[in-house]
Amino acid sequence: MDAKKRERYERIAENLTRLVGGRGNIQGVAHCATRLRIVLKNNDLADMKAIEEVDLAKGVFVAGDQLQIIFGAGLVNDVYEVFADYNNMKNMSLSDLKTEANQKMNPLQRAIKALSDVFIDIMPGILAAALLTGLSGVLGNLDFVQGNETLYGINTLINIASGAIFGFLPLAVAYSACKRFGGRPILGIVMGCIMLSSSLADAYAAAQGTVEVTTLHILGLPVELVGFQGGIIVALLMGMITAKLDIFFEKKVPEVIRLLVSPLLTTLVGAVLLFVVVGPVGRGLASGITSGLVWMTQNFGALGYALFSGVQQLIVITGLHHIFGAIEAQLLVDTGRNFLNPLMSVAMTAQGGAVLGYLALNRKDAKTRELCIPSFISVLFGITEPALFGVNVRFKFPLIGGCIGGAVGGLIVYLTNLAALGFGTTVVPGIALADPANNGYLWYIVAHLAALACGFLLTVVIGSAWKGNGAPAAQTGKEKGAEPKAAEVESEKAEETRSETGAAETFGAYADGSLIPLEEVNDPTFAQKILGDGVAILPSGGTVYAPADGTVQSIFDTKHAVCLETDLGNSILIHIGIDTVKLGGKHFTAHVKDGDRVKQGDILVEFDLDAVKAEGYDTVIPMIFPELGETAVLEKQGRKTVRAGEPVAALASK
């Protein structure tokens, strides 16, 4: 990471830390592909509106009791690196963060999150099976493949591979669930093997009545010896129960016999529960879910499809969408087709169209372009959170346009009988999962283009009539009809005063010591004036003073840097030392806080000069003017020894 980027990210880290309630309010921090995730002790202390306006942030929301700030793929890694370093929370894994967050979730939230985690762990296998199934279906319809001995043989092997993965999916689910709930994964595999044992009648054959089923009687209860092929719900329940049994017996069995007895009891009790209780209950639940979905398609038809795809992204906002993975898996093993996948996919695409619609309405605004373009790209790969929380939910009317566009896409899915042969990926990559029957690939493209176009057009139409013409707050500066804040009035007056008088502003020395050119600072960010022009002082004491009258815009929690705005509207950054952010505030004492008014010569910060040097840090103090315009010139004093208050620089109009 180059110095210019790091300095920018340090400012982001400082702002975020302050806006989430300070370092003391942060329990943990980690990141995923697009979002910086923070667990706070008290979410109410976070200023959500202000966080939305943080540099590079594309949106913010709370989900799973985590404050999640969207930065986008790639960028979030660098922001996390600096933010974690700034808050002394490096090396915290996403798993560790989830543990912190889970402690604050309610039981329903924890259950849904756990369900999601189970399928995330086995998703590569599920995707492989789905893609192989689609490939086999395409090749099987080509005459030259059927007529070529080698190609036919390869296609047969592909078909065997895909069928084997789906055939043993309950075993994989039992393994992943046992692992997720704290049990030894091998015991989950053992339970999965019992579910699919060859000693049991095949579940599909038993359902068709082509095989004889043996019935046992245990405590007067009839127990049918039927396998659990396709029993995803049963596998989920058994994985969880096996984990709980394993933990229980590991605690209760004496250590001297634990190695032998604990897994024995876990397997024995689990097997009995599987056939007597969990199996029948799980089968009934799975049958109910599948029957309910099929009933919906048969009785609600086009309306049911349109309604589901219209509201699906609203479900994403609540976090309840994680449960769909289990439903899709059960639907696949019961019917061989997954109609939910394309419905969810067109719902996502429509929200992407809404983002483009909002961009079209505000295309001249640089912040909007920076926000919308990466958000739309994320949608293309099935990630809608940046679009939802960065744009559509935030500005409301794009969400409405996106939901209506999703409903239109759902209607086309119904009319074309579109379905998927797997689950786990959507939008552009999702085309590989589409059932190729009845021109499935073509209709997949048509449905998504229609959803995109409707989401775009409806957002433009609704936004054109929306209050403020859909313009972002950053573009208008103030809400229509709102009274300007006092600070805004003062800033406007200062700007008017400076433009009318053209007066120069003089800045006094902000520390005792030796004034040196900024180019001689031993840091390329300052020396190359990446942040702006200025001067620097090699301090002889540990006190930093205000160089002019003004207002404290922000002071880092580490107290090593202060941002000021003078009464004439000039911005100043005073940075005490090089890389001293790593001290985390050690050896520094702040005498001001954000929003304080200061006079020239007032003490801003005191620091232990000798202690900072002893820690190995350069103590030079640059003063930077980050917003010098083309109409202003910075006049600097030459190298000399200065005392606080003596003139060191002046800013005047050209």
Q: Return all residues near 571 (Cβ < 8 A) that are at least 6 apart.
A: 553, 563, 564, 565, 625, 626, 627
Please give the radius of gyration of the chain, using alpha carbons only, rounded to the nearest integer: 31
Measured CA to CA in angstroms, residue 382 lies from 402, 408, 442, 452, 511 at distances of 15, 18, 19, 13, 54
Q: DSSP secondary-structure letter at 235?
A: H
What is the number of other CB atoms lying within 10 angstroms of the CB of residue 538? 16
The two three-digit tokens of residue 28, written as one number: 């943990």
Specify the 3-state DSSP secondary structure of 287. helix
Q: Please give the Cα distance from 283 to 126 (Å, whole number).
A: 21
Starting at the edge strand that comes first in sequence, how are the strands of the sheet with 550-555 ordered? Answer: 597-598, 550-555, 561-566, 571-575, 621-625, 533-539, 513-517, 640-642
Are 107 and 38 in contact by the 8 Å Cβ rule? The answer is: no
Residues of 423-438 as b/e, b for ≥16 C-beta within 10 angstroms?
bbbbbeebbbbbbbee
Are 548 and 507 in contact by the 8 Å Cβ rule? The answer is: yes
CA 482 to the chain's CA centroid: 33
Specify the 3-state DSSP secondary structure of 27. strand
Are 322 and 331 in contact by the 8 Å Cβ rule? The answer is: no
Specify the 3-state DSSP secondary structure of 572. strand
Q: Please give the Cα distance from 633 to 652 (Å, whole number).
A: 6
Beta strand extents in 200-341 (DSSP E only): 215-218, 221-224
Specify the 3-state DSSP secondary structure of 646. coil
Active site residues: 32, 575
